[in-house]
Amino acid sequence: MTSLSPLLKQATPVIVDHAEGSWVHGTDGRAYLDFTTGIGVTSTGHCHPRVVEAARAQVGSIIHAQYTTLMHRPLLELTEKLGEVLPAGLDSVFYANSGSEAVEASIRLARMATGKPNIIAFHGGFHGRTVAAASLTSAGTKFRSGFSPLMGGVHFAPFPYAFRYGWDEDTAVDFALRELDYVLQTVSSVADTAAFIIEPVLGDGGYLPTPPRFLDGIRERADRHGILFIIDEVQAGVGRTGKFWGHQYSAATPDIIITAKGLASGFPISAIAASTELMSKGWAGSQGGTYGGNAVAAAAAVATLDVVRDEGLVDNARVRGEQLGAALKALQPEFPQMGDVRGLGLMQAVEFTTAAGEPDAAAALAVQQAAIDQDLLLLTCGGFGNVVRIVPALVVTADEVEQGVQRFAAAL
């Protein structure tokens, strides 16, 4: 008998029977409050009726056309809708299936457009598991070790991780910007650097919001040195942070934006957007793929963007995120192992530390596991594995947030 790969490491023992909104119903008959959302993917909740209907209708019309061979209506509609939310000037879109593929596409584009080899990424960043994407990733050695050599030309600069350093945000940002200049003057010269890449909120790296002033500082250096600025919105985008794009807490705008995950509520589709001028320097057959921009996924993405707009989900993410963050902070005095509570919108996290202030991965894992007994699904993350991340659907209600926090406290 064939079995699943022994390498499969499942964070929970739950086998899903069906799911709806913020709830997952297991084959064990239990209803779990899902604060994992397929790692930030099921943005409109599980099986939102409008997304289900759009996908169903599309399956009966055309499933796959391969869009560099045959264009289909959902992709044209999606492109038009993305145009309403993309930062000004990013008027050209390329589609793929996953976040990693889109990250790869952005790197290919940056290198081809600039003719320069190097990319500067940041400590704790996560950009995916394919070889180029893993090369940009430093959210944990597990994403890198064992399959070297990775792609060359990648250099890392520090991220302003204020809590870890025991600094205030301004001090951490000043330090990180000075270090970035140092990296530019030493290991990756300006003349060789094609792009900076960063997430607006470090995802797998520990749910660390990137301070707006840091994003502004990177933008300023990108302009000064003629380096492209890539913002990876794969996890933070499509409303999750309480703004449509996570980087919109700062004034900085990207030259290339990457989106995936929440874009289609669970259907695999990703995209990069850039100016037409930039995009035209990186195409020429270098980008593409069999399944990218699939018609059913595109139809689901169109429905998702409609639901996000019609149901005010960006605002809901902000308001429910504030509720969640405040309720978690209120638990801190009682549970000193909750070293830091932080987040933006519905990307909230608790970083667990020992009495000596060291990362406590065992505590994070214990809480995540204990939460399952409370019918609450959570994930861990962070370079040290000591962060519990809380990633509800954007449709989460005030009552569900309250229930989630009560269950979290019981797990603690």
Q: Which residues make up the interface to ligand PLP (CB under 6 A)?
A: 39, 98-100, 103, 126-128, 199, 203, 232, 234-235, 260
Least separation in angstroms between residue 171's CB and ligand PLP is: 26
Q: What distance in Å separates the CA atoms of residue 145 and residue 180, rounded to the nearest whole number?
A: 25
Single-letter amino acid code for the residue at 158: P
Nearer to ligand PLP, 96 or 328 (CB): 96
Residue 387, CA atoms < 13 Å, CB-side half-sphere: 27
* Closest alpha carbon to 151 in 185, 186, 194: 194
Tokens of 295: 């018609």
Q: What distance in Å separates the CA atoms of residue 382 and residue 140, rounded to the nearest whole number?
A: 8
Least separation in angstroms between residue 264's CB and ligand PLP is: 11
> 300 and 264 in contact (C-beta within 8 Å)?
yes
Nearer to ligand PLP, 143 or 408 (CB): 143
Least separation in angstroms between residue 93's CB and ligand PLP is: 17
Least separation in angstroms between residue 361's CB and ligand PLP is: 19
Q: What distance in Å separates the CA atoms of residue 75 and residue 337, rounded to the nearest whole number?
A: 48
Least separation in angstroms between residue 290's CB and ligand PLP is: 16
From the CB of residue 167, how many other CB atoms can be counted at a distance below 10 Å? 15
Nearer to ligand PLP, 131 or 190 (CB): 131
Nearest residue to ligand PLP, scored by beta-carbon proximity: 99
Q: What distance in Å separates the CA atoms of residue 301 and residue 79, rounded to the nearest whole number?
A: 10
Least separation in angstroms between residue 355's CB and ligand PLP is: 31
State CA 290 to chain mean position distance: 24
Nearer to ligand PLP, 94 or 126 (CB): 126
* Closest alpha carbon to 351 in 166, 164, 218, 95: 164
